[in-house]
Structure 1
Amino acid sequence: MDILHFAEHMPETIRQRAVKRVFRPGEALMRKGEPVTHVYLLTSGATRVSNEFESGHRYTFAQIDAPDILGDLEALSHQESYATTNEALTQCTVYALTIDTFYAWLREDNAFAIRVAELLAIKMYPTSDENGRIKFLPSVLRLENYLLHRIGGVDTDLFVLHTGRQEIADDIGTSVKTVNRGVTKLKEAGLIGLSHGKITISREQKMKIAEDLERSE
């Protein structure tokens, strides 16, 4: 059973406390750093998940499509603030549950509790698997992997990365010095370009980076 089933058949005691809300495209369901107050059952629409850094840059790294749950990780791990920003990509309909209401539903409905645990496992496994693989890659390959993820599905003849070297180093778990060495190696290999110090990647270079990563597996 998916979350839409549970949303349609939630216990009456929970339904009385749930608030149905609609978010328009661009509106934030939650923002990174804000207090964790609600868990949202996303019953229609899609959201984009992003992380914001002190430099002001925003990195969008995922899309969540209905039906799904938002804020469950923070609620179940007793975090005080949301870890990411989640904005409506399309018009989204949700059931907003306070943390107390969410826990009450878990205690009252074993099937719902099991489904929430399954969804969390589905979300976390790819991250754990990817992080474990990336951790043991040489620094240059970690940089290549990072660059491909930053490009994502962006369709452009020339991608310009505006992220600073320190931020890149923080994201891939290395030093700025190592990042600079990696940038130099990739540029010398023709896999990236530089424009006023910023990394640029053409369509052809993107394909070559992907091929280089495939050969390393």
Structure 2
Amino acid sequence: MRTKKANACDHSCLMCRYVMQEWLGQIDLHRKNIKLKKGEQFIREGEPVRGIYFIQSGFVKVHRNLGDRETIVRFAKKGEMVGHRGISSEQSVYPISATALAATQLCFVALPFFLSTLRINPELSYRLMLFFADELHLSEQKMANLAQLSVKNRLAWSLLLLHRVFAEGTEEGYIGLELSKKDLAAYVGTTYETVYRMLAELADSNAITVDKKKIFLKNKELLNKLATEKYGE
């Protein structure tokens, strides 16, 4: 992980988009740029909270360990924030880890400055509340899926979600995030072997096409049907 003096920023992240115009200069004074290589971890579960990270380019997986198994909580892209789960009045450590999935550039601000920014910029506080609400809703949906959907159906739901989130800038139908089957399994909540088999079944039914780490959604109607089909239906 390489930290360097902040250079020009396009101010496209969540924080910069919703602060007062005159506060952008303060952000430029307090932020640091961090360059990561693919596979480089920049947050470790249980470490003291240092601050908040905003993605300027690249992709990041947010994950945690449950016993000896890794679970991926979410994937994040340009403009999104990582490390906010460490904001709490009752704890001072990160409850998650975060790792770059590709060459990635981050903007980092220390936690005290970020909290001051929230106090001074009500629009940012409001947008952050909505961000937390959306993230909570998605987490609850994933928990419900574990109880109500088969692995194949959870995989269909996950592929549709990933396509919706990462479709920008890619050819129609493709998921704009290349994932290993190991990471996809950790996101769906199953094993590598099972996700490999389920991908093959979806491909055989012409729902998707798989080319190494690239996934093309060939039949979204079928995937939508699977994603809403609960056990026993």
Does residue 65 of structure 2 align to residue 46 of structure 1?
A: no
* Inter-CA distance 21–142: structure 2 relative to 1 (3 Å threshold): same
* Aligned residue number for residue 97 of structure 1: 109
- Contact 1:59-1:150 within 8 A present in 2 as well: no
* Aligned residue number for residue 70 of structure 1: 82
The amino acid of 1:94's aligned partner reads L
The runs of 5 or more residues in structure 2 that have no matched partner are 1-11, 163-177, 206-222
- Contact 2:58-2:105 within 8 A present in 1 as well: yes
Superposition TM-score, scaled by structure 2 size: 0.57
* Inter-CA distance 107–80: structure 2 relative to 1 (3 Å threshold): same
**Distance in 2 of aligned mates of 1:154 and 1:25:** 12
1:125-164 paired onto structure 2 within 5 Å: 125-132=137-144, 134-135=146-147, 137=148, 141=149
Q: 1:201 aligns with which of 180, 184, 197?
A: 197
* Aligned residue number for residue 183 of structure 1: none
Equivalent pairs counted in the alignment come to 177
**Distance in 1 of aligned mates of 2:70 and 2:141:** 24
The amino acid of 2:25's aligned partner reads E
Shift of 1:39: 0.8
Q: 2:28 aligns with which of 12, 15, 21?
A: 15
* Inter-CA distance 67–59: structure 2 relative to 1 (3 Å threshold): same
* Inter-CA distance 143–108: structure 2 relative to 1 (3 Å threshold): same
- Contact 1:30-1:82 within 8 A present in 2 as well: yes
Shift of 1:65: 0.6
Q: What percentage of aligned pairs have identical amino acids?
A: 16
The runs of 5 or more residues in structure 1 that have no matched partner are 164-170, 173-197
* Aligned residue number for residue 130 of structure 2: 118
- CA offset digits 1:149-190 (Å, max 9, x no partner): 89998787xx9xx99xxxxxxx79xxxxxxxxxxxxxxxxxx
Shift of 1:24: 2.1
Q: What SS is found at the alignment partner of 1:201?
A: helix
The CA RMSD measured in Å over matched residues stands at 4.1
Shift of 1:7: 8.2
Q: What SS is found at the alignment partner of 2:95?
A: coil
Shift of 1:69: 1.0
- CA offset digits 1:112-144 (Å, max 9, x no partner): 212222222222212223434655x3xxx5666
* Inter-CA distance 63–133: structure 2 relative to 1 (3 Å threshold): closer
Q: What SS is found at the alignment partner of 2:30?
A: coil
**Distance in 2 of aligned mates of 1:205 and 1:14:** 46
Superposition TM-score, scaled by structure 1 size: 0.60
Shift of 1:6: 4.8
1:26-41 paired onto structure 2 within 5 Å: 26-41=39-54
The amino acid of 2:111's aligned partner reads I
Q: What SS is found at the alignment partner of 1:16?
A: helix
Shift of 1:87: 0.8
